[in-house]
């Protein structure tokens, strides 16, 4: 079995959660239950995964890291938009 399968499953599972979070942030225009510190920690984690793939073990899984990182970044932007609305 390909060892990447577990990494792919992890990224897909996390990846399915971000659109829900983004949608909630966008529609509610509220940061209730959000932690910008948590979002930045997760974002840094995805950036680290991208760096590892680029510098040490490049493969197609890097695109899942990029996609997830972009979704977290959008959630961070919405956090600050919502903060300025209130």
pLDDT per residue rounded down to tens, the chain (86 residues): 577 999 999 999 999 999 999 999 999 999 999 999 999 999 999 999 999 999 999 999 999 999 999 999 999 999 999 998 86
Query: What integer pLDDT is reported at residue 1 of this predicted model?
Result: 55
Domain boundaries, the chain: 4-85
Fold of 4-85: Monooxygenase (1.20.1280)
Global pTM exceeds 0.85: yes
Query: What integer pLDDT is reported at residue 24 of this predicted model?
Result: 93
Three-state DSSP class for residue 34:
coil
Q: Is 31 exposed, middle or buried (0-12, 13-18, 19+ CB in 10 A)?
A: middle
Q: Is 64 exposed, middle or buried (0-12, 13-18, 19+ CB in 10 A)?
A: buried
């Amino acid at each position: 079995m390909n060892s990447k399968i577990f990494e792919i499953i992890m990224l897909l599972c996390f990846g399915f959660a971000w659109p829900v979070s983004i949608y909630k942030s966008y529609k509610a225009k509220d940061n209730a239950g959000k932690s910008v510190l948590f979002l930045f920690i997760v974002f840094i984690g995805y950036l680290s995964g991208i760096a590892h793939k680029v510098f040490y073990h490049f493969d197609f899984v890097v695109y899942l890291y990029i996609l997830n990182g972009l979704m977290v970044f959008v959630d961070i932007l919405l956090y600050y938009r919502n903060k300025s609305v209130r």
